[in-house]
A and B are shown apart, each in its own frame.
Chain A
Amino acid sequence: MTDALLSVNDLKMHFPIRKGILRRTVGYVRAVDGVSFDVKAGETFGLVGESGCGKTTTGRSILRLIEPSGGQVFFNGKNVTKLSNVEMRKIRSEMQIVFQDPYGSLNPRYTVQQTLEEPMIIHNLYKSAAERKKRAMELLEVVGLSTSRMNRYPHEFSGGQRQRIGIARALAVNPKLIIADEPVSALDVSVQSQVLNLLDDLQKEFHLTYVFIAHDLSVVKHISNRVGVMYLGKMVELAESDSLYEKPLHPYTQALLSAVPIPNPEAKRERIILQGDLPSPANPPSGCYFHPRCQSCMDICKTTAPEWKEIEPGHFAACHLYN
Chain B
Amino acid sequence: MSSLLEVSGIKTSFLTNKGYLPAIEDVSFTLDKGEVLGIVGESGCGKSVTSLSVMQLLSTNGKIEKGSIRFEGKDLVNLSDSDMRKIRGNEIAMIFQEPMTSLNPVHKIGRQISESLMLHKGMNKSQARAKAVDLLKSVGIPRAEQIVDEYPHRLSGGMRQRVMIAIAMSCDPKLLIADEPTTALDVTIQAQILDLMRKIRKEHNMAILLITHDLGVVAEMCDRVVVMYAGKVVEQGSVKEIFRNPSHPYTVGLMNSIPKLEERQARLPSIPGNVPSLELMPKGCRFATRCEFVTEKCIQEEPTLLPVEENHEARCWLMKKEEVAK
Please, which residues of chain B bring their CB within 8 A of the CB of A256? 187-188
Q: How far is the CB of A262 from chain B (nearest CB, A)?
A: 6
Of B106-114, B128-136, B270-278, B311-319, the one with at least 4 CB within 8 A of chain A = B270-278
Please, which residues of chain A bring their CB within 8 A of the CB of B244? 266
Asked if residues A196 and B259 are in contact (CB atoms below 8 Å), the reply is yes
18 A-B pairs in the complex with CB atoms less than 8 angstroms apart = A161-B274, A189-B215, A190-B270, A190-B271, A193-B256, A193-B258, A197-B270, A200-B267, A219-B259, A222-B260, A260-B261, A261-B219, A262-B261, A262-B262, A265-B243, A266-B244, A277-B158, A277-B159
- B interface footprint on A254-296 (CB within 8 Å = 1, 0 otherwise): 0111111111111100010110011000000000000000000
In the assembly, what is the distance between CA of A218 and CA of B195, in Å?
A: 21
Asked if residues B190 and A218 are in contact (CB atoms below 8 Å), the reply is no
Asked if residues B261 and A257 are in contact (CB atoms below 8 Å), the reply is yes
- Counting chain B CB atoms within 10 Å of each CB, the highest count among A196, A255, A265, A271 belongs to A265
Please, which residues of chain A bring their CB within 8 A of the CB of B216? 260-263
A221 contacts the other chain (Cβ, under 8 Å)? yes
Asked if residues B267 and A278 are in contact (CB atoms below 8 Å), the reply is no
In the assembly, what is the distance between CA of A245 and CA of B262, in Å?
A: 8
Please, which residues of chain A bring their CB within 8 A of the CB of B43? 188
Asked if residues B261 and A265 are in contact (CB atoms below 8 Å), the reply is no
- A interface footprint on B229-260 (CB within 8 Å = 1, 0 otherwise): 00000000001100110000000011111111
Chain A residue with Cβ nearest B268: A193
In the assembly, what is the distance between CA of A263 and CA of B200, in Å?
A: 22
Please, which residues of chain A bring their CB within 8 A of the CB of B190? 259, 261
Give which listed residue, A191, A197, A222, A261, contacts B274 with CB less than 8 A.
A191
Asked if residues A215 and B186 are in contact (CB atoms below 8 Å), the reply is yes
B16 contacts the other chain (Cβ, under 8 Å)? no
A303 contacts the other chain (Cβ, under 8 Å)? no
Could you tell me which B residues sit within 8 Å of A by CB distance?
42-43, 156, 158-159, 186-192, 194-195, 213-220, 239-240, 243-244, 253-262, 264-265, 267-272, 274
- Counting chain A CB atoms within 10 Å of each CB, the highest count among B187, B217, B265 belongs to B187
Give which listed residue, A190, A194, A200, contacts B42 with CB less than 8 A.
A190
Asked if residues B215 and A274 are in contact (CB atoms below 8 Å), the reply is no
Asked if residues A188 and B191 are in contact (CB atoms below 8 Å), the reply is no
Asked if residues A218 and B258 are in contact (CB atoms below 8 Å), the reply is yes
Chain B residue with Cβ nearest A245: B261
Asked if residues A217 and B261 are in contact (CB atoms below 8 Å), the reply is yes
Please, which residues of chain B bring their CB within 8 A of the CB of A79? none
A61 contacts the other chain (Cβ, under 8 Å)? no
Q: How far is the CB of A128 from chain B (nearest CB, A)?
A: 35
In the assembly, what is the distance between CA of A102 and CA of B95, in Å?
A: 27
Given contacts A221-B261, A222-B268, contact A158 B220 (CB under 8 A): no
Please, which residues of chain B bring their CB within 8 A of the CB of A215? 186-187
In the assembly, what is the distance between CA of A263 and CA of B257, in Å?
A: 12
Please, which residues of chain B bring their CB within 8 A of the CB of A265? 219-220, 239-240, 243
A94 contacts the other chain (Cβ, under 8 Å)? no
Asked if residues A273 and B260 are in contact (CB atoms below 8 Å), the reply is no
Please, which residues of chain A bring their CB within 8 A of the CB of B191? 258-259, 261, 271, 273-274
**Interface residue count on the A side (C-beta < 8 Å):** 42
Please, which residues of chain B bring their CB within 8 A of the CB of A242? 264
Chain B residue with Cβ nearest A48: B187
In the assembly, what is the distance between CA of A271 and CA of B192, in Å?
A: 11
Asked if residues A194 and B270 are in contact (CB atoms below 8 Å), the reply is yes
- Counting chain A CB atoms within 10 Å of each CB, the highest count among B191, B253, B269 belongs to B191
Please, which residues of chain B bring their CB within 8 A of the CB of A200? 267
- B interface footprint on A196-240 (CB within 8 Å = 1, 0 otherwise): 110010000000000000010111011100000000000000000
Could you tell me which A residues sit within 8 Å of B by CB distance?
50-51, 158, 160-161, 188-194, 196-197, 200, 215, 217-219, 221-223, 242, 245, 255-267, 271, 273-274, 277-278
Q: How far is the CB of A71 from chain B (nearest CB, A)?
A: 26
Please, which residues of chain A bring their CB within 8 A of the CB of B254? 189-190
Asked if residues B187 and A218 are in contact (CB atoms below 8 Å), the reply is no
In the assembly, what is the distance between CA of A196 and CA of B218, in Å?
A: 23
Q: How far is the CB of B217 from chain A (nearest CB, A)?
A: 5
Please, which residues of chain B bring their CB within 8 A of the CB of A160? 274
In the assembly, what is the distance between CA of A51 and CA of B184, in Å?
A: 10
Give which listed residue, B187, B189, B220, B274, contacts A277 with CB less than 8 A.
B189
Asked if residues B42 and A189 are in contact (CB atoms below 8 Å), the reply is yes
Q: How far is the CB of B59 from chain A (nearest CB, A)?
A: 21
Give which listed residue, A189, A191, A222, A262, contacts B220 with CB less than 8 A.
A262
Given contacts A189-B254, A265-B219, contact A217 B42 (CB under 8 A): no
Further contacts, 10 of them, CB under 8 A, given A217-B187, A218-B259: A193-B256, A197-B267, A218-B261, A221-B264, A222-B259, A260-B261, A261-B220, A263-B216, A263-B255, A274-B188
In the assembly, what is the distance between CA of A112 and CA of B17, in Å?
A: 27
Q: How far is the CB of A79 from chain B (nearest CB, A)?
A: 34
Asked if residues B243 and A263 are in contact (CB atoms below 8 Å), the reply is yes
Q: How far is the CB of B28 from chain A (nearest CB, A)?
A: 23
Please, which residues of chain B bring their CB within 8 A of the CB of A259? 187-188, 190-191
Asked if residues B194 and A261 are in contact (CB atoms below 8 Å), the reply is yes
In the assembly, what is the distance between CA of A256 and CA of B130, in Å?
A: 36
In the assembly, what is the distance between CA of A278 and CA of B158, in Å?
A: 10
